[in-house]
Structure 1
Amino acid sequence: MFVIHGVANRDRDSFVNAVASLKAASGVEMVPVYWGDLGAEDRFINLTLPPAAAGRIEATGIELRDRGEAGPDQVDASVLLSVLAAPTDRRGQWNTLEAAVRARLTEDAEVSGFDLRDGDAERPDPDEVLEYLEEEWPETQWLCRTDDARLLLETGRSLAEALIDSADLNDGHEELRDGAGKGRGLRALVRRRLQDLDRVVGAAIQATAGRINHALRTGFGPGTTRFLGDVLVYQRHQAAIHARVQETIAAVDPALGRTPDRPVRIVAHSLGGVIAVDMATATHPLWTSSLLTFGSQPAFFHACDPRGGQLTPYAGDGAVVLPESLRRWTNLWEPLDLLAFIASTLFRLHDGTPPDDIPVSHTASSGLWTHSAYWENPDVAAAINTAMNTP
């Protein structure tokens, strides 16, 4: 049985040792197929990643302070997702905001605990406030893009409290209480307070997004960028990589994989699975009696860009039938592996049965980047033993 590695393998000895460990755990004889020296140049990838400072509040150029008080420097994940996701439910958004504003402007001040220094100060009319708010709301950069109920409720309440605050209504804003300037003053006050809230929320969202971006790039960036680099190299130098696989197999037995009666057995990780499927379904195929892939992408690649050879494009009205040159296929995937895809929904073997998609357990020691954790996962070794010993 031959083992083809996936992306970001640049150390032949480490790969050979990993195969030896997998061989010992599964009890199946294995021959490593190394092609990492043909992969992407990845020594300088980190130079292309934005630095951590790009996510810092100071780098956003947005003033966090409103009337002398610092705004929040992070937001709940649900708020971040609601702002970045699209489209926003405009009707539901406005209903929530309107309810919050109206409730705060009409509730009893003593019950709410909000102390008005000027007891005879007149509260703004809710309908008038909402009229101005509806005009100004589309001009916000951040608030108008969220349908997070909590953020909308807090925004509406904060705005209403600012409007009934005696410091805003009485100190220097006499035009809000009488005369022709009342409407203009209230409108200006709504605009100013809404802009303050929008600016603070925007700064918090950008700060949180920056930290998440940096954390994801630190945790997932090296693996995903090396994956993309090797994919690009494979697309350009597919023939050379296939030749390396053929050379390794021929070194064991030149007749292996050449005819239906001398098929090979292959285990492949990640992009190695794409290589194995491409070779097994080529016009002049590598005859494969049993293929086991883990953390691999053949179905994803074929759905995005048909692989050619003996495979027909997926048209959405029936699975793609694999040729007889690929007789059996077991596909393993780990729940947290972002680069693992299932195969049974897209493909059918020549006898009409789907490939076996089998989830493997997540181990806490593997952390968040689980794409390279299969090699030491006992579920993988057990699946290899089963697949390769099935007639």
Structure 2
Amino acid sequence: MDDPVFVIHGVGNRDEEGFARTVAGLRAATGLGLVPVYWGDLGADDRYVDLALPRRTPPDTGLRDEAGAPPDPETAAVLESVLDAPAPPDAEEPPPALADALRAGLENNDDGLRGPGGPDPDDVLAELAELWPEARWLSRVDDPGLLRAAGTALAAAVTEEDDSWDGLRGGGDGRLRALLRRRLRDLDRVAGAAVEAVAGRVNRQLRAHYGPGATRFLGDVLVYQRHRAAVHARIRERIAAVDPELGGGPERPVRVVAHSLGGVIAVDMATAGEPLWTSSLLTFGSQPAYFHLCDPRGGQLSPYAGEESVALPRSLARWTNLWQPLDPLAFAASRVFRLADGTPPADVALPHTIGAGLWTHSAYWRLPEVAEAVREAFAVPAGRG
């Protein structure tokens, strides 16, 4: 009978029973004797982390929206347009979409004001071109719909002036420039207030969606770095409860599956001065290479010097590393490490599935590709189980 395969969870796991159920599901899918190794009670105390999150009170712009409501697609597109645009120090004239809408509004108004005494579109555009560098927010916008709306609003402001047009065509410090400056500043303030309001909502939504996972990841990493020995002792305790001889030497190595920070733990233990001898390791969504590059792990591992890969000891004989393209916490291992036989760990990219969503760090457990990779890593035929 094959020795069991021990499964080490990653960050943010505070539910021992739930983790056991997850491992049971993977056990059923693979036919392997998987044993859960739980250490989450040693992780970070994140009950009060909300106290460290900044709270921003937006200025009273007069704009109101439903708290927490997601931006509509058009508003989100405008926000993206503004935030992605480069800083415009050399923006010398309004973009064509705004200028065309302004000209059309001046030429097509039907309120009787257009005529020999009405505003000349070329004069208005010339004045606006001189004022355009003062537009902080509108000058960053490349969304045609928003620019056309701004041009139409400027045209309406000019054509609705009910005084004689002679006074507005003075140029320089004339009334046309003063009127355009006021309206341009008003529109620019509204655009800026809208962007800040939407950006604030997006910030809150991103924190709500990704914040708990990111917070627990950082918290557990900090705790593990300071209390590594306690976590390692817990894992050795769980293994010894199955068989005290497992992992103690090359004659009885362990087999390990590990997710996220669990992969860092498994590599640390397999390469320690007194290693947990590991015949086969499968990691997914994990960071051993990243951690070692940033802060060499010690034990039997030498720092990466920028040329040759870091040699892994014989106590880690085989390593398969899975990663998802949309998992920001998954890192490759093959370009940083090499096994004792001279081969690199096997990095395996998993296909992204729509059902996994945009945050895939916790989605591995449900992927059939992971179960298949586990079977292959531990040489269990696909039809077994």
Q: TM-score scaled to structure 2, two decimals?
A: 0.81
Amino acid at match of 2:160: A
Label 1:78 to 1:309 Cα distance change in 2 as closer, same or farther (>3 A). farther
Deviations 1:273-296 (A, max 9, x none): 111112222233222221111122
**1:241 alignment partner in structure 2:** 231
**1:129 alignment partner in structure 2:** 127
User: C-alpha displacement at 1:316, in angstroms?
Assistant: 4.5
**2:151 alignment partner in structure 1:** 157
| Structure 1, 380-389 or 308-317: larger mean CA deviation | 308-317
Amino acid at match of 2:274: H
User: C-alpha displacement at 1:240, in angstroms?
Assistant: 0.7
**1:255 alignment partner in structure 2:** 245
> Are 2:168 and 1:176 equivalent residues in the alignment?
yes
**2:80 alignment partner in structure 1:** 81
Give 1:13's match in structure 2, choosing from 1, 8, 17.
17
Question: Which whole-Å CA distance do the structure 1 matches of 2:364 and 2:189 have between them?
Answer: 46
1:95-134 aligned within 5 A: 97-100=94-97, 102-104=99-101, 110=107, 113-115=108-110, 117-120=112-115, 121-123=118-120, 125=123, 128-134=126-132
Give 1:2's match in structure 2, choosing from 3, 6, 15.
6
Label 1:313 to 1:159 Cα distance change in 2 as closer, same or farther (>3 A). farther
Deviations 1:127-173 (A, max 9, x none): 63255224423xx2x334x353536743763465256x3223x4388
How many corresponding residue pairs? 368
**2:43 alignment partner in structure 1:** 39
SS in 2 for 1:323: coil
Amino acid at match of 1:26: T
Label 1:109 to 1:143 Cα distance change in 2 as closer, same or farther (>3 A). closer
C-alpha contact (below 8 Å) 1:292/1:384 kept by paired residues: yes
Amino acid at match of 1:136: E
1:1-391 aligned within 5 A: 1-46=5-50, 48-49=52-53, 59-64=58-63, 76-85=75-84, 87-88=86-87, 97-100=94-97, 102-104=99-101, 110=107, 113-115=108-110, 117-120=112-115, 121-123=118-120, 125=123, 128-137=126-135, 140=136, 142-144=137-139, 146=140, 148-150=142-144, 153-154=147-148, 157-158=151-152, 161-162=155-156, 165-168=158-161, 170-171=162-163, 175-178=167-170, 183-362=173-352, 366-389=356-379
Gap runs ≥5 in structure 2: 65-70, 381-385
Amino acid at match of 1:6: G
SS in 1 for 2:173: helix
Question: Which whole-Å CA distance do the structure 2 matches of 1:335 and 1:212 have between them?
Answer: 23
User: C-alpha displacement at 1:26, in angstroms?
Assistant: 0.9
SS in 1 for 2:160: helix
Amino acid at match of 1:240: A
Question: Which whole-Å CA distance do the structure 1 matches of 2:164 and 2:278 have between them?
Answer: 84
Label 1:297 to 1:86 Cα distance change in 2 as closer, same or farther (>3 A). farther
C-alpha contact (below 8 Å) 1:176/1:183 kept by paired residues: no
C-alpha contact (below 8 Å) 2:105/2:155 kept by paired residues: no
C-alpha contact (below 8 Å) 2:169/2:176 kept by paired residues: no
Amino acid at match of 2:127: V
User: C-alpha displacement at 1:384, in angstroms?
Assistant: 0.6
Amino acid at match of 2:320: T
Question: Which whole-Å CA distance do the structure 2 matches of 1:238 and 1:378 have between them?
Answer: 32
SS in 2 for 1:351: coil
Amino acid at match of 2:33: E
Label 1:292 to 1:200 Cα distance change in 2 as closer, same or farther (>3 A). same
Label 1:261 to 1:83 Cα distance change in 2 as closer, same or farther (>3 A). farther
Label 1:361 to 1:327 Cα distance change in 2 as closer, same or farther (>3 A). same
Label 1:348 to 1:184 Cα distance change in 2 as closer, same or farther (>3 A). farther
Question: Which whole-Å CA distance do the structure 2 matches of 1:276 and 1:252 have between them?
Answer: 17
C-alpha contact (below 8 Å) 1:257/1:288 kept by paired residues: yes
User: C-alpha displacement at 1:326, in angstroms?
Assistant: 2.1
Gap runs ≥5 in structure 1: 66-71
User: C-alpha root-mean-square deviation of aligned residues, in Å?
Assistant: 3.4
SS in 2 for 1:183: coil
SS in 2 for 1:220: helix
User: C-alpha displacement at 1:362, in angstroms?
Assistant: 4.7
Label 1:155 to 1:352 Cα distance change in 2 as closer, same or farther (>3 A). farther
More helix by share: 1
C-alpha contact (below 8 Å) 1:321/1:349 kept by paired residues: yes
Label 1:317 to 1:187 Cα distance change in 2 as closer, same or farther (>3 A). farther
SS in 2 for 1:308: coil
SS in 2 for 1:15: helix
C-alpha contact (below 8 Å) 1:281/1:311 kept by paired residues: yes
Deviations 1:265-319 (A, max 9, x none): 1100111011111222223322222111112222332333332333344455454
Amino acid at match of 1:129: E
Amino acid at match of 2:213: G
C-alpha contact (below 8 Å) 1:348/1:355 kept by paired residues: yes
User: C-alpha displacement at 1:261, in angstroms?
Assistant: 3.6
